[in-house]
Amino acid sequence: MDGHAQLLQVNVLTPYLLTALMPRPHRMIWLSSGLHRDGDADLSDIDWTRRGWNGFQAYCDSKLFDAALSAAVARLWPDVISNALEPGWVPTKMGGPGATDDLSLGHVTQVWLAEGAVPGTNTSGGYWFHQKPRATHPAVDDERFQDDLLQSLAELTGVTLPTGR
């Protein structure tokens, strides 16, 4: 994956490759961010090779791509429960001391979805925040955008996400 924007490598290419290459799990949980709503659904330069670098926008875009990947997996792999979530703006090194969410709650929705013990957690294709469904950027549920994103990632990595069972 050398030669790609590091943020794209870490936030998008790595989870895409792991998903495409590993045996299908029963559940997948994708970590996104509320900032995905500020993401740009233009896939013409997802690797930031033609436009000037903007770290904030690249982060927002990457989290939009993660949420869309979760929805694509939910659609293409009906035998896998795939959901995305945002942990909230928590006071970490990245979030900073001004973050408004409680750090001790940041992981709760992830665990809740992973356990699948509560009604509602066995559905696929959702986007969650503090154990509640949350609206997403319109591109997340756009099947054409999902397919175009998968095609772009296949071209960047040389690996295609398997479809079918």
Query: pLDDT, tens digit, for every residue of 15-35?
Result: 999 999 999 999 999 999 999
Q: What percent of the chain has pLDDT over 90?
A: 79
Quick check: helix, strand or coil at residue 116?
Answer: coil
Using alpha carbons only, give the angle 62, 118, 80 rounded to the nearest 5 degrees. 50
Sheet holding 127-129, edge to edge: 27-31, 81-86, 127-129, 132-133
Structure tokens at 120: 């509602």
Full set of structural domains in the chain with CATH? 6-157 (3.40.50.720)
* Per-residue confidence (pLDDT) for residue 3, from 0 to 100: 67
Q: What is the pLDDT of residues 108-153, one digit of tens each?
A: 999 999 999 888 789 999 999 999 999 999 999 999 999 999 999 9
Among this protein's residues, is 16 annotated catalytic?
no
Please tell me which residue in 63, 93, 127, 132 is annotated as part of the active site: 63
One of 59, 93, 127, 132 is an active-site residue; which one?
59
Closest CA to 15 of 31, 35, 37, 39: 31
Is-catalytic flag, 63? Answer: yes
